[in-house]
Amino acid sequence: MYQFVIPVHHVTWSTRSVLEGVYEKYKPKHIYVITSENEIKILKDKSNYWKIKNLTLLDEDNFFLKKYGLTKNDIVSQITQNKPNYTPGWLYQQIIKLGANDAIDQLDEVFVVWDSDLLPVNSWPILDNKKEKFALLQDKSYGNQDILNSWKNLIINVLGINPVEDERGTFTSHHMIFKKKYLKSLKLKFKDHFKSDQNWIKLIIKAANIYGSFGEYWTYASWVNHINKDDLNYYPYEKYGLTTERFFDDGNGLFSKNYKKYISFKEQEDFYPSYSSILNFISKKYLSLPSSLSFETNIRHTKKKDDNIHLEEKRSIWREKKAYHRDKKI
């Protein structure tokens, strides 16, 4: 049983199914959700009847206040000065992931960070042959090369190491197994590079401002690979990545529309479907279950150029404009 840390930007139609899915699949020792005060109110109101246990809601605005004396606004205001790629809130969420061990005293040495839009379906075990493993879920053939180069250059120049590479998949895995000892040494490396006594949060922002962006999962995985490559264990893309799908759905996408028809949904009702209901629907639509589904709600996913669309998006049966897809039931 592992503890899960899940940053949540907004409570969306899929939040319930993701949280229930994580609980159903992994039986976490505890789930820590970090979100805004307004979203906490929504979750407190709605989650009483959700099938989740051991859930703690933490305020993202004051997440680092006790440890570093910094509010979200203090941190985000530094990001907006130089406007690195993606939004300040996106980078702040990455900082939450890397800083969870600093802000949550109860976290064990090993814990799992999980993206709030990642629904486990026919998913992977965390523990395999006494080793914790994450799964590579993104093919490296597509994507925004400028962003990837920003991440790569930061790893090379700030950490002074070569980024870890896989033949088929990227390390933007939408979840990660973190170990406190590697997080601690990673943060010290940022201080060493900048010859600074500032806390690591400010230094990561400084690095992101210099190089244009920051990839938390790839950075962490590369650091672990450098320190102790035997401790970087993952399922190759071919194991679980080949069946995962990623698509835009804000509650009105193809998946949601078809699901609503499936359950005869009435629009005046709250739309927070349960994991079991979503799973039943998925089982009707696929000949073989996907390992996971990612419900993207950022509108930018509908505006990508074809060259920047990841394979998991291209092949999804729920993509509005799809080049091809996996087998599906009629």
Q: Give the Cα separation of 266 and 52 in Å (integer).
A: 25
| Averaged pLDDT score across all residues of the chain | 92
CA distances to 35, 72, 234, 248 from 59, rounded to whole Å, are 6, 10, 31, 27
Q: Which has the minimum average pLDDT: 16-20, 105-109, 190-194, 211-215? A: 211-215
CA distances to 207, 252, 312 from 90, rounded to whole Å, are 15, 23, 21
| Residue 163 amino acid letter | P
pLDDT for 323 equals 41
- Helix (H) / strand (E) containing 6: strand 3-7
- Show me where the domains of the chain are located: 3-237
Res. 325: pLDDT tops 90: no
Reading the block at residue 128, the tokens are 């395999």
**Three-class secondary structure of residue 117 per DSSP:** coil
Segment 108-113 mean pLDDT: 98
| Residue 318 amino acid letter | W
Q: Give the Cα separation of 126 and 176 in Å (integer).
A: 10
pLDDT for 88 equals 82
Assign a CATH topology to domain 3-237. Answer: Spore Coat Polysaccharide Biosynthesis Protein SpsA; Chain A (3.90.550)
Res. 314: pLDDT tops 80: yes
pLDDT for 4 equals 98
Confidence class of residue 292 from pLDDT cuts 50, 70 and 90?
Answer: very high
Res. 132: pLDDT tops 60: yes
For the entire predicted model, the pTM comes to: 0.93
- Nearest CA among 114, 126, 109 for reference residue 181: 109
Res. 26: pLDDT tops 50: yes
The Cβ of residue 35 has, within 10 Å, a number of other Cβ atoms equal to 25
Q: Above pLDDT 70, what percent of the chain? A: 92
Phi and psi at residue 258, to the nearest 5°:
-70, -35
pLDDT for 59 equals 98
Res. 112: pLDDT tops 60: yes
pLDDT digits (tens, 9 = 90+) for 298-313: 766 566 667 678 899 9
pLDDT for 327 equals 46
- From the number of C-beta atoms within 10 Å of its C-beta (0-12, 13-18, 19+), residue 24 rates as middle
pLDDT for 328 equals 46
Per the DSSP assignment, residues forming a β-bridge with 56 are 32
pLDDT digits (tens, 9 = 90+) for 56-78: 999 999 999 999 999 999 999 88
Phi and psi at residue 55, to the nearest 5°:
-105, 130
